[in-house]
Amino acid sequence: MLDARLVPDSAFAGLPLPHLYARVSGHVPAFEWPAIAADVAAIERLKRERNAVILGHNYQAPEVFNTVADIVGDSLALAREAVKVDADVIVLAGVHFMAETAKLLSPDKTVLIPDAEAGCSLAESITPADIRLLRQRYPGVPVVTYVNTSAAVKAESDYCCTSGNAVKVVRHVAREWGVDRILMLPDEYLAQNVQREVPEIELIAWKGHCEVHERFTPQDIRDLRESHPGVVVLAHPECPPEVVAEADFAGSTAAMADYVDAERPGRVVLITECSMADNVSVAHPEIEFVRPCNLCPHMRRITLPKIRTALETMSRAVEIDPAVADRARAAVERMLAIR
């Protein structure tokens, strides 16, 4: 298979949509491309007909991320874009909590999730009843929940945060509320990683974990450094703190991409979901990406045929129980107001 990053678009002139194939040829064999290109062309037509925009998370498969996604980014960027985007329809190429967040912030738009089963182990790990019990146990302690939660859980929370702004949010809450204890839910490892940055605040955590990031170990990082001398290690803060301690940098998916753009390390490994390296590497042919691979099965549920069907049938439209929507929106908006 040719590597698009080393080959000009003209090398693919015999194929449909050669400029797009140039972006994914490292991942998609040429014989598969005509069928994929037919879906891409149909989705582009449907986007125009429906006045739709596709928001794509950084973990989307390369053939989604590099072709039909209009705006890509981390959870925080996608939430911010959901407020601003000028369209009647948003298709969220990501997981369900991201689509719910978009719907909370753009209640008048139709928000479609191409596969309603695209969940998240963190979102599954906590219920609204758990938060109500924690509030009884820790009266007066504010609740900051990770955006990787259901709208019903967000409705029980004071603030949301993402991996991109967690430190800023807990510092803000401690200052505004005049407290030195915060419930930070449900990602235990994110809370522990943030705790290192804010020793002055006690973060009370929950036992939720990301099924993708919890599988990385400190030994994995040591082995990578030995087998790939000089490799720069970037890790997502959903990884266990012992893993983050072995890394050179930790940050959200967008922060990792920004690090690569700014620092241009010769050799790098992203300790996170594997599509991330596939997508970031497209713009960086000069960088060697070492690729240990942990796939998120939920992100992988989103495919081009499902996006096409979603736009054809206008399903699955995300609906949020009005009894929780206003309170959930308030928690997300309080987060977005922090700059």
238 is a contact residue toward ligand 13P (CB under 6 A): yes
Which DSSP letter does residue 300 get? G
Which among 101, 25, 109 has a CA at the least distance from the CA of 67?
25
Site string for ligand 13P, 244-263 (x = CB under 6 A): --------xx----------
Return d(Cα 42, Cα 132) in angstroms, integer: 46
Closest distance to ligand SF4 from the beta carbon of 279 (Å) = 14
Closest distance to ligand 13P from the beta carbon of 11 (Å) = 32
Partner whose footprint covers residue 121, from ligand 13P, ligand SF4, none (CB < 5 to 8 Å by kind): ligand SF4
Residue 146 marked as a ligand binder: yes
**Segment 289 to 328, residues that bind ligand 13P, using CB under 6 A:** none
> Binding-site residue total for ligand 13P (CB under 6 A)?
12
Q: Please answer whether residues 36 and 304 qualify as being in contact, where contact means their C-beta atoms are separated by less than 8 angstroms.
A: yes
Which of these ranges, 21-29, 69-77, 153-161, 226-234, lies near ligand 13P under the rule CB under 6 A?
69-77
Strand partners, 271: 235
Q: Which of 131, 174, 212, 247 binds ligand SF4 (CB under 6 A)?
A: 212
Partner whose footprint covers residue 252, from ligand SF4, ligand 13P, none (CB < 5 to 8 Å by kind): ligand 13P
Which DSSP letter does residue 124 get? H
Return d(Cα 36, Cα 305) in angstroms, integer: 9
Mark 41-54 as b/e (b = at least 16 C-beta within 10 Å): bbbeebbeebebbb
Which among 45, 4, 44, 42 has a CA at the least distance from the CA of 21?
4
> How close are the terminal C-alpha atoms of the chain, in Å?
45
120 is a contact residue toward ligand SF4 (CB under 6 A): yes
| Residue list, annotated binding site for iminosuccinate | 57, 75, 146-148, 163, 236-238, 253
| Residue list, annotated binding site | 57, 75, 120, 146-148, 163, 210, 236-238, 253, 296
